[in-house]
Amino acid sequence: MSAKQKPNRIKPRLPRGFADRGAAEIAATRRMTETIRAVYERYGFEPVETPAIEFTEALGKFLPDQDRPNEGVFSFQDDDEQWLSLRYDLTAPLARYVAENFDALPKPYRSYRAGYVFRNEKPGPGRFRQFMQFDADTVGSASPAADAEMCMMAADALEALGIPRGSYVIKVNNRKVLDGVMESIGLAGNENAGKRLAVLRAIDKYDRLGVDGVQALLGEGRKDESGDYTQGAKLTEDQTLAIVEFIFSGANSQGQFSKQGSLPLTRSTLPSAFSVRKFDNAGRVKNLRTLFPKNATYNEGLDELQAIAAIAANFDPEGTVISVDPSVIRGLEYYTGPVYEAELTFEIKDDKGRPVRFGSVGGGGRYDGLIGRFRAEPVPATGFSIGVSRLQSALTALGKLGAEKETGPVVVTVFDRERIADYQRMVTALRNAGIRAELYLGNPKNFGNQLKYADRRNSPCVVIQGGDEKARGEVQIKDLILGAEIAGLSTERDDYLRKQAEAQFAVPEADLVRAVREVLSRHR
């Protein structure tokens, strides 16, 4: 053919951060959501669903001092010029829903929902621009018991998903405690809002950068491996030390961290620090009590943490699941009290054997001000969200998911083109018996191709009826899974023949359904 003059075809491709999903992945997602749903239901939550698009103002994502939405959210203008956005989480839309239907809902209102959310940001491992979250929220209860329940339910959900106790941790902190710390070191007031933000960001990086990194970020700044420089919060040395001491006091009760000398916890020693895995939450709260005893906000936050720890102690007497951790921050936007974060504690490697950082697989917290944006009165609320997509990609990278192909349908092959109706009748018989079945609809000329097709579909077996079988009133059943096993093994001749007979055999036409059922039951 002529080499040149190729039509200018569109290149099929996906925007980055978006993914197609095949049968195996969809099945895995379905199993996961069904598992989580069962746990949430058991805790007494009921489903509610909201659309993927909301008014941007309802999501609260306009850029400050501009009438354009934040760049992190996908937004567009409706034909009446109003800004609409794809939801970036399931919490803000729930707040809108509750505010809009406030009088009709029982309080406390306990609800759950799964759905895709969208964020316009740089993707990475386990990080997508469209991904699924599975949320549960309790609206109308200010009790720490509601927060404790979120932590317990998150733990139950992760374990139901097959993540064993000890392979994950639910970290808990309280925004009031952090606020109290900053008030106590002279960072209260509007003029310090920027510094407070920088401090929270620095603390948030503790598990990734270790103490040295956080210390650098609280002070002058930090240079990363690529040589890029991050401006620090420019705190005084006293302020920096107070915060570092605060972070450590949450862990001191284990006796493994000490403040003098070089600080022991760095990025490289982090995994072994995790492996200690015995959380004395009451002791940590007690330690934290001594730091800023005069600050009311701080003490209020600790009271709540203490209450959560007490409830958690019943759920988790071994102290391996729920961990009070002063370095947990979560989002900077709407959390007002307790915050939680679920993390996997084992290492995950990519296909080249390099360790991959997946980040948290779930999180949440108390957002007492969010619904109040729509109403005159404040409405307390707390919730937890499981990052289904991220968890799924973590488990897949771990080799725990998506390895096995879904079993395909039984394929009825075509030998004589004139007898399509006969073959279709067999398919119908199988379908009526509740068996997934299909007629081979490709070109039947080459019989081998029909078996190749069935093989590709991962069919358990095929049905064959040529002229010889027809004359005897029989059909052949060929067990493809057994056949594959035989081909793999180099067995003794007798053994081979016996298995061969098992793998393909003839039955009277009337016994078709029964024989296929028998083959299916072999491979269940």
Residues in contact with RNA by CB under 7 A are 1, 6, 16, 61, 70, 72-73, 88-89, 91-92, 119-125, 197, 201, 205, 208-209, 217, 222, 224-228, 230, 330-334, 350, 356-357, 415, 445-449, 451-452, 454-455, 464, 466-469, 476, 478, 480-481, 483-487, 503-504
Cβ–Cβ under 8 Å, residues 257 and 272: no
End-to-end Cα spacing for the chain: 51
Distance between CA atoms of residues 288 and 183, nearest Å? 15
User: Alpha carbon 230 to chain centroid distance?
Assistant: 30
Q: Which CB sits closer to RNA, 318 or 350?
A: 350
SS (H, E, C) 120-181: CCCCECCECCEEEEEEEEEECCCCHHHHHHHHHHHHHHHHHCCCCCCCEEEEEEEHHHHHHH
Beta carbon of residue 502, minimum distance to RNA (angstroms, whole number): 11
Instruction: Report the alpha-carbon distance of residue 48 to residue 505 in Å, rounded.
Output: 52
Residue with smaller CB distance to RNA, 276 or 484:
484
Give the whole-angstrom CA distance, residue 309 versus residue 515.
59
Rounded to a whole number of angstroms, the CA Rg of the chain reads 30
DSSP 8-state symbol, 445:
T
Q: How many CB atoms lie within 10 A of CB 50?
A: 16
Both structure tokens of 66: 């501009």
Nearest alpha carbon to residue 237 among 255, 258, 212, 219: 219
Rounded to an integer, what is the distance from CA 402 to the centroid of its chain?
A: 15
Instruction: Give whichever of 1 and 104 is closer to RNA, judged by the CB atom.
Output: 1
CA distance 154 to 152: 5
381-387 and 362-366 strand pairing: antiparallel
Rounded least distance, CB 308 to RNA, Å: 20
Nearer to RNA, 222 or 284 (CB): 222
- Closest contact distance (angstroms) between CB of 201 and RNA is 4
Say how many C-beta atoms besides its own lie within 10 A of residue 68's C-beta: 10
CB–CB of 71/79 below 8 Å? no
CB of 485 to RNA, least distance (A): 7
- Report the residue number, 284 or 330, with the smaller CB distance to RNA: 330
Specify the residue, 431 or 499, whose C-beta has the smaller distance to RNA.
499
Give least dist CB 524 to RNA, A.
Answer: 17
Q: Which is nearer to RNA, 303 or 455 (CB)?
A: 455
DSSP three-state, residue 366: strand
Minimum CB–partner distance for residue 474 and RNA (Å): 9
Q: How do 338-344 and 168-174 pair as beta strands?
A: antiparallel
What's the closest the beta carbon of residue 89 comes to RNA, in angstroms? Answer: 4
Closest distance of CB 364 from RNA, Å: 9
Neighbours of 37 (CB within 10 A): 18
Nearer to RNA, 452 or 514 (CB): 452
Q: Which amino acid does the sequence have at 106?
A: P
Supply the minimum distance, in Å, between the C-beta of residue 88 and RNA: 4
Nearer to RNA, 378 or 444 (CB): 444
CB 100 within 8 A of CB 76: no
**Of the two residues 6 and 294, which places its CB atom closer to RNA in the complex?**
6
**Nearest CA to 135 among 310, 382, 313?**
382
| Beta sheet of 53-55, edge-to-edge order | 53-55, 83-86, 75-77
Whole-number minimum distance, CB 385 to RNA, in Å? 9
- Which residue's CB is nearer to RNA, number 61 or number 113? 61
Which is nearer to RNA, 320 or 458 (by Cβ)?
Answer: 458
Instruction: Report the SS3 class of residue 426.
Output: helix
